[in-house]
Amino acid sequence: MLCCFVLYLLNTLLYASLYFRWQWNNSLKMGLSISNIFDRILGKQEKRILMVGLDAAGKTTILYKLKLGEIVTTIPTIGFNVETVEYKNISFTVWDVGGQDKIRPLWRHYFQNTQGIIFVVDSNDLDRMNEARDELQRMLNEDELRNAALLVFANKQDLPNALDVNNIREALGLRSLKNRECYIQKTCATTGDGLYEGLDWLSNILKNSSG
Per-residue pLDDT at 35: 45
Percent of all residues in the chain with a pLDDT value above 90, rounded to a whole number: 60
Question: What integer pLDDT is reported at residue 199 of this predicted model?
Answer: 96
Instruction: Please state the domain extents for the chain.
Output: 1-42, 45-207
Enter the CATH code of domain 45-207: 3.40.50.300
Answer positive or negative: Cα dihedral of 29, 30, 32, 36: positive
Looking from the CA of 87 toward its CB, the CA atoms found within 13 Å total 26
pLDDT at 6 over 70: no
Q: Which helix (H) or strand (E) holds 118?
A: strand 116-122
Could you tell me the pLDDT band of residue 140, with boundaries at 50, 70 and 90? very high
CA distance linking residue 119 with residue 153, whole number of Å:
6
**How many other CB atoms are found less than 10 A from the CB of residue 167?**
14
**pLDDT above 70 for 173:** yes
How many CA atoms lie within 13 Å of 79's alpha carbon, on the beta-carbon side? 2
Q: Among 78-82, 116-120, 145-149, name the one with the lowest average pLDDT.
A: 78-82
- Residue 193: pLDDT band by 50, 70, 90 thresholds? very high
The percent helix, strand, coil of the chain (3-state, each to 5) is: 45, 20, 35
Q: How far apart are CA 49 and CA 84, in angstroms?
A: 10
Interval 96-108: pLDDT, tens? 888 888 888 888 8
Would you name the residues annotated as active-site residues?
Answer: 100
* pLDDT at residue 167 in the model: 98
